[in-house]
């Protein structure tokens, strides 16, 4: 949660985050990406830090699947549709 706040300016609490899945294999068997979802009552402003993150936006899962994605992210999104 600290990283989310530092890198994109979104303040979260642990109870806001729901672990919804994981995918691995993009960079070897020990590479695992964990995915969390958060529901918000109102639109959230993203404030990019410009160092580790250089761009961010909210898109639907279908819109994301039309883009070039890391294999782990694509695996998660495709599985999420089921």
- Report how many domains make up the chain: 1
For a pLDDT cut of 90, what percent of the chain falls above it? Answer: 20
Q: Which region among 35-39, 70-74, 78-82 has the lowest average model confidence (pLDDT)?
A: 78-82
pLDDT band at 22 (very low <50, low <70, confident <90, very high): confident
pLDDT tens figures, 4-19 = 888 888 888 999 999 9
Domain span at residue 24 reads: 2-80
Q: d(Cα 44, Cα 12) in Å, to the nearest integer?
A: 11
Looking at the chain, which runs of residues are DSSP E strands? 18-25, 28-37
For a pLDDT cut of 70, what percent of the chain falls above it? Answer: 98
Contact 35, 21 (CB under 8 A): yes
> What is the average pLDDT across 39-61?
87
Q: d(Cα 12, Cα 14) in Å, to the nearest integer?
A: 7
Q: d(Cα 82, Cα 6) in Å, to the nearest integer?
A: 33
């Amino acid at each position: 949660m600290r990283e989310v706040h530092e890198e994109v300016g979104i303040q979260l609490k642990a109870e806001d985050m729901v672990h919804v899945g994981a995918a691995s294999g993009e960079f070897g068997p020990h590479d695992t990406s964990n995915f969390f979802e958060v529901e918000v009552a109102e639109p959230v402003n993203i404030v990019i830090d410009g160092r580790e993150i250089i761009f961010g936006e909210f898109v639907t899962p279908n819109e994301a699947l039309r883009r070039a994605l890391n294999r782990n992210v694509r695996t998660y999104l495709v599985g999420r549709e089921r």
